[in-house]
Structure 1
Amino acid sequence: MHKESVSHQSYEEMAEYYFRDIDNKPYNAHYERPATLSLLPGVEGKSVVDAGCAAGWYTEQLLRMGAKVTAVDFSSRMIEMTRRRVGGKARLVQADLNEPLAFLADASQDVVLSSLALHYLKDWTSVLSEFYRALKPGGVLVFSVHHPFMDFTHFQKENYFLTELLDDEWNTPDGKVKVQFYRRPLYQIIAAIHRAGFVLEELLEPMPADAFRQQAPLAYDKLTRTPQFLFIRARKPQL
């Protein structure tokens, strides 16, 4: 995500909101996070990259699981929130996922986790190549993104097969915030994974957890009929 983008400024503004409120939102707490965690391998003693760490929820969970974590985000404010959450227990790096991740040595990581971050990047060629380079043989990539069907229908687009920039506006307790992200068809997501050299292991379109229904029954009902996010686990082949 380029530092001059609308989304960069928006996430700088939303850093406190993410730190303070996002953990209790049902789409995060009872939908995205359970599904993403279900795809993770065991991480105790492993080196893990939290790519697009936001306010550090996954960084904290990975540390609790015994992982050695490098947390990366393009937003200095998000890095600040992650530091507030985990102190010096993780390596924190402010970096743009569009650029080479030179701070990650070749074949140095066991897992790369990226939660709801890759849809902010137009071209996945560089970032997936960098993830592949940094992972050890047999290493795992786990990520979540907006579901192509959801973006296509919600924004009433005319051509599903395009990759295009979308403008959205989010309501937060601190006011409305404009964000931008890219939607792309499913085949482009899968093709990008294969072009980078990964083997696709699992693809999830999960149901929300029961706790979601108690917190937001109408949204829960919608998620049982239409997906919101897409979840993927891929592996770098063994030598």
Structure 2
Amino acid sequence: MKDKVIEAYAKLAKDYEKHVDTQSAYNAYYERPAMISLLPQDMNRLSVLDAGCAAGWYTEQFIRMGAQVTAIDLSPQMVEASKRRVGDKATVFACDLTEPLPFDDESFDLIVSSLTLHYIEDWAPVFCEFHRVMKPEGSLIFSVHHPFMDFKSFDRSDYFARELLSEVWNKKEAGPVEVTFYRRPLQEILNRTSERFIIDRIVEPQPSPEFKDEPWYERINKNPHFLIVKARK
């Protein structure tokens, strides 16, 4: 599975760097505003881990908010894209979330993971490491595919199963790319989180009404596509 993710995002890196910020409604106008609304009001000098930084959009926002940012991603190509975006204003390097993290205990005030965890089968060791490197009273904010979306879109027969799914994304730079990820029920998402953290808020985003004339608006306004969880240590 890990090799499939690395291969897919090596192909997708240019699209994320050049087009996602303005041309992907699901990212730019749906997931990102909802995630940003959950951030602390004052991030000045907070130590933040961007866990699954992709091309560095969140990394850049955290820097602008005054945070001290470390950004990691499994894909070397995404890491290079992030470095081009933020330069030396953040520490950015390739890192596998399924392995022990190369950070001291209680290093981060905030861990943010955007649309990353559904590429990982077993969350237990990941959350164990997140808990270890998080400071007391620190926060975790993450987004994943909504279980209802994947269950409905892929016409699955067993909602309660954790299963591997694949779909083809057609992108401007890369063309068709097969992307593979895990679907799991809501109870697994919440129970895995609450084993290590206290859940503060669950968000099923809806797009802002300002986009009501866009062709995608009705689809994502009435059908949940992503799920966001905010939790604390």
Identity %: 49
Contact 1:26 1:212 (8 Å CA) reproduced:
no
Aligned counterpart, 1:55: 55
Counterpart residue number, 2:89: 89
SS of structure 1 residue aligned to 2:165: strand
Aligned to 1:38: 37
- In structure 2, what is the Cα distance between the partners aligned to 1:211 and 1:51? 30
1:205 and 1:156 map into 2 onto residues whose CA distance is 21
Q: Distance in 1 between matches of 2:105 and 2:209?
A: 41
TM-fit CA distance, 1:28: 1.0
Partner residue in 1 for 2:141 = 142
Counterpart for residue 29 of structure 1: 28
Q: State the Cα distance separating 1:211 from its structure 2 match.
A: 4.1
- How far 1:26 sits from its partner (Å)? 1.2
Q: Does 1:8 align with 2:6?
A: yes
Is 1:18 the equivalent of 2:12?
no
TM-score by length of 2: 0.96
Q: Is the 8 A contact 1:7 1:178 kept in 2?
A: no
1:164 aligned residue:
163
**Aligned-residue CA RMSD (Å):** 1.0
Give, in whole Å, the separation in 1 of the partners of 2:77 and 2:221: 35
Query: Which residue in the other structure is 2:226 paired with?
Result: 229
**5+ residue gaps in structure 1?**
none
- Distance across 1 between alignment mates of 2:210 and 2:50: 26
Distance between the aligned counterparts of 1:63 and 1:116, measured in 2?
A: 20
User: Which residue in the other structure is 1:66 paired with?
Assistant: 66
Unaligned runs of 5+ in 2: none
TM-score (norm 1): 0.94
Q: Size of the alignment, in residue pairs?
A: 230
